[in-house]
Structure 1
């Protein structure tokens, strides 16, 4: 998913202000390429660092299990608890974003196709719930089909990308000159400094690349996780990063008038861009449908990963009602109760769409911020071990060897830098409507986790339940 695919709305639209993303036009095009490059390189370094950890410790808990293996128990118990909660709620937020994108883009297509359609925010929430229910049913009733769904999703992703890319390049009636694409500066964010606008705009590119740890949380259901998961994680970044860059270049050349795209009443600049290119409502709908389908397919796998995090946290007695949530369906061999609860939590997040667009933007920021914090801590510990006690590291099949320190440092620098600006408001001047509430939501999650730790967790939680790590 590209930044242009994410919601962008104007104050006079019923879609509301500042919905879910900064949108195109917030930053200049040259710096947009810089953002893409920085996000790609930083995400690749982070994925490589996590891949090395999962190759050593193939466990569904991922980040917070890694921590428990690298620090003394007296420190690791509390630290792994905190990272476990951060990772879990980060994944819940990420899992909510795909059905939200798919559902609200369907609404945007209704606006495009039917002049008499009366937009209501709750319509998008109902569509969001419908997609979520389908995803939950596939996760529970069709759990054996999940590998097939993943293969279909990958195949459709590549084929749809090629088709859309060819169509927009061939059909577009006009092409922008290279100066517009590579040189011209546009900053509609309100930030007086292009540098700050560039940094704040990192959310878009970070969001479309984050979540590569999803495979880690399924490793206890795989035959060869030490070798297969690193390939899956690195492959995810390489495929999405290169395809995304190509799509971005094509869109900027063929998009037509920028202001027309930003002023769209559909809520999505990409819908207006496809319409400007094809000059045909049905053709634009067909192109946008590929995005809707991709987001819908992604909803299934994201729910799978998020539910496994809830399940493993409950298995480790770090979540309320842990004995109930940690049960595994003996027939299907999946945590059915955890899938159901995760689906309910995602459904509750959909209610935010009814009352506040800026609040959902905070959820998206929370997703990226939470996951990046969960990546940062174990990678810092890995770097510390590399420098202070390299003999304590027992590498798995995926090992960066002498390049590990440099890659870890690059990853840490990227994560620290982006986490700072993920909490900035997307626009200036800052108002209650466009404020980035990610820090508030993140703080609330931390407080909830801390209260539960003090009341019950510190007596029940003995650290992660780790599987036997065979050679």
Structure 2
């Protein structure tokens, strides 16, 4: 299989080096002209659609993140937040899909940044690469952590004498990571059928859960579901702030849609398959999540009991209230637990490819080592081990301080949204100033491009403003949202790395793929 349709040595933005600046590239070293490591193309549209659907795992993610929405705004924030988040996420996805069609490559955002940035493309693409990589490193730990703490919540419900400890959760994170790691290493060819099987579980378990809730759950009124605006739980008093923080439940549910793009170099006809799998994956997930949210609110039982659940997860208390059985509630949690497991297959695969791409383009430390592709496994094995090791180290933080661990996790969505916004901004500028110079792919937004890009920027900026806000007031050390300061540290690290090492090594992406 060909690795890409063509290989270019990036030089469109280069000037002769003379000083250490963000604009001036260093001399190109001879090893940049050597053949770049390849990945085999073996994935089609259907596995990628399942990849997108199960990576977001929308209705399961909504169940796991329900607390924030109930605490701030309640039903109004969840129902109308889902609608707003779908429209906003669709605009972001369409904007990203167009760029993915132009250049379907594992590095994604930093490649597009280099091609589209009107100034300092080397510096900006290098910073973008680090922001995207660090965001996805944090993302790897989210699924296993949710599964681990949900298992602890079920233990609390079923065994009242159980006292959860942080180190229990850390061990559960390790356990959830183990099988996805093995499959990624030894069963690469099984990834496609595993994705399809996971997609089938994602879809088929949905009506089963819905039927149980509809048949057994107590009924709330239409007024509760569509007009109840909860303002007396979090300590915040401004209704706009309350809705905006509650909206983050829906925003989290429909995020991470760029994960498919980082698998592009293993996808046949990637310039078509990747954009459409992103779009249809989001539409399918939004449809399922919205239906789940409506039925859940109609049948959730006592609102306060769900919010104050000793398990830490309102969804566990809601399932118990609906069925009246701890065993049945545990069984209903199984699809949600499985979603965290099979999404870890996808996240590990996607993030290892992203890390590998940054190393292959010589921006990552020890690039020649981490850009290696195992000839036996045919995957970037060293990058996979690096990502897994980082996740293990992050999980170990939880033993000493859950606040510090949550600070790392809070970086995830904030950094991802920022990694979406900057390339879209530069795409919008390029579209307005010189659309004739854009190397379009098969998927083109056409005349709708400008309004879609503008709305994507507006929605993404709005979400980014409220992502770092704490859920409750007054703010305590344990309740503080550390997303903004942690992101600031990550950004400072990237800038320091540029001046210490990057300006010498990084000359932009070395591999470009042209759409067929």
TM-score normalised over the length of structure 1: 0.94
In structure 2, the residue matched to 1:67 is 113
Query: What secondary structure sits across from 2:123 in the alignment?
Result: helix
In structure 1, the residue matched to 2:450 is 405
Deviation at 1:117, TM superposition (A): 2.2
Structure 2: which 5+ residue stretches go unaligned?
A: 1-57
Q: Please say if residues 202 and 422 of structure 1, whose CA atoms lie closer than 8 Å, have aligned partners that are also in contact.
A: no
Give, in whole Å, the separation in 2 of the partners of 1:326 and 1:129. Answer: 25
Deviation at 1:426, TM superposition (A): 1.5
In structure 1, the residue matched to 2:425 is 380
In structure 1, the residue matched to 2:98 is 52
Correspondence 1:10-49 to 2 at 5 A: 22=68, 24-49=70-95
Q: Please say if residues 128 and 419 of structure 2, whose CA atoms lie closer than 8 Å, have aligned partners that are also in contact.
A: yes
Find 1:341's aligned residue among 383, 386, 390: 386
| CA displacement, residues 180-224 of structure 1 (integer Å, 9 cap, x when unaligned) | 111122121211111101112232211111111111111111111
Give, in whole Å, the separation in 2 of the partners of 1:388 and 1:278. Answer: 59
Query: What secondary structure sits across from 1:433 in the alignment?
Result: coil
Correspondence 1:115-134 to 2 at 5 A: 115-134=160-179
Deviation at 1:352, TM superposition (A): 3.4
In structure 1, the residue matched to 2:225 is 181
| CA displacement, residues 303-327 of structure 1 (integer Å, 9 cap, x when unaligned) | 1111111111111121112111111
In structure 1, the residue matched to 2:33 is none
In structure 1, the residue matched to 2:257 is 212
Give, in whole Å, the separation in 2 of the partners of 1:26 and 1:75. Answer: 41
Deviation at 1:450, TM superposition (A): 1.7
Deviation at 1:470, TM superposition (A): 5.0
Deviation at 1:87, TM superposition (A): 0.6
Find 2:181's aligned residue among 108, 127, 136: 136
In structure 2, the residue matched to 1:423 is 468
Give, in whole Å, the separation in 2 of the partners of 1:48 and 1:198. Answer: 25
Query: What secondary structure sits across from 2:442 in the alignment?
Result: coil
| CA 1:259–1:362: 2 relative to 1, 3 Å | same
| CA 1:27–1:371: 2 relative to 1, 3 Å | same
1:315 aligns with 2:373: no
Query: What secondary structure sits across from 2:354 in the alignment?
Result: helix
Query: What secondary structure sits across from 2:70 in the alignment?
Result: coil
Q: Please say if residues 45 and 411 of structure 1, whose CA atoms lie closer than 8 Å, have aligned partners that are also in contact.
A: yes
| CA displacement, residues 263-304 of structure 1 (integer Å, 9 cap, x when unaligned) | 211111100100000001111110001100111111110111
| CA 1:439–1:39: 2 relative to 1, 3 Å | same
Give, in whole Å, the separation in 2 of the partners of 1:465 and 1:162. Answer: 47
1:326 aligns with 2:376: no
Give, in whole Å, the separation in 2 of the partners of 1:301 and 1:56. Answer: 23
1:5 aligns with 2:63: yes
Correspondence 1:354-373 to 2 at 5 A: 354-373=399-418
In structure 1, the residue matched to 2:236 is 191
Q: Which moved more, 1:121-130 or 1:197-206?
A: 197-206
Q: Which moved more, 1:203-212 or 1:78-87?
A: 203-212
Q: Please say if residues 60 and 219 of structure 1, whose CA atoms lie closer than 8 Å, have aligned partners that are also in contact.
A: yes
Q: Please say if residues 7 and 267 of structure 1, whose CA atoms lie closer than 8 Å, have aligned partners that are also in contact.
A: no
Q: Please say if residues 275 and 443 of structure 2, whose CA atoms lie closer than 8 Å, have aligned partners that are also in contact.
A: yes
| CA displacement, residues 10-63 of structure 1 (integer Å, 9 cap, x when unaligned) | xxxxxxxxxxx6252321322322211111101001100110011111111101
Query: What secondary structure sits across from 2:160 in the alignment?
Result: coil
| CA 1:371–1:59: 2 relative to 1, 3 Å | same
| CA displacement, residues 118-172 of structure 1 (integer Å, 9 cap, x when unaligned) | 3212111101111112211111111111111111111111111111011111122
Q: Please say if residues 353 and 383 of structure 2, whose CA atoms lie closer than 8 Å, have aligned partners that are also in contact.
A: yes
| CA displacement, residues 391-411 of structure 1 (integer Å, 9 cap, x when unaligned) | 112321111111111111110
Correspondence 1:244-259 to 2 at 5 A: 244-259=289-304
In structure 1, the residue matched to 2:31 is none
Give, in whole Å, the separation in 1 of the partners of 2:287 and 2:212. Answer: 19
In structure 1, the residue matched to 2:272 is 227
| CA displacement, residues 358-378 of structure 1 (integer Å, 9 cap, x when unaligned) | 444433431111111111111
| CA displacement, residues 429-464 of structure 1 (integer Å, 9 cap, x when unaligned) | 112121111111111111221222111111011111
Give, in whole Å, the separation in 2 of the partners of 1:109 and 1:212. Answer: 29
Segments of 4+ in structure 1 off by > 4 A?
1-4
| CA 1:233–1:452: 2 relative to 1, 3 Å | same
Q: Please say if residues 104 and 270 of structure 2, whose CA atoms lie closer than 8 Å, have aligned partners that are also in contact.
A: yes
Q: Please say if residues 100 and 274 of structure 2, whose CA atoms lie closer than 8 Å, have aligned partners that are also in contact.
A: yes
Q: Which moved more, 1:324-333 or 1:108-117?
A: 108-117
Structure 1: which 5+ residue stretches go unaligned?
A: 9-20
| CA 1:409–1:44: 2 relative to 1, 3 Å | same
Output the aligned Cα RMSD.
1.6
Query: What secondary structure sits across from 1:351 in the alignment?
Result: helix
In structure 2, the residue matched to 1:395 is 440
Query: What secondary structure sits across from 1:330 in the alignment?
Result: coil
Find 1:280's aligned residue among 308, 321, 325: 325
In structure 1, the residue matched to 2:209 is 164
Deviation at 1:64, TM superposition (A): 0.6
Query: What secondary structure sits across from 1:212 in the alignment?
Result: coil
Residues matched between the structures, number: 457
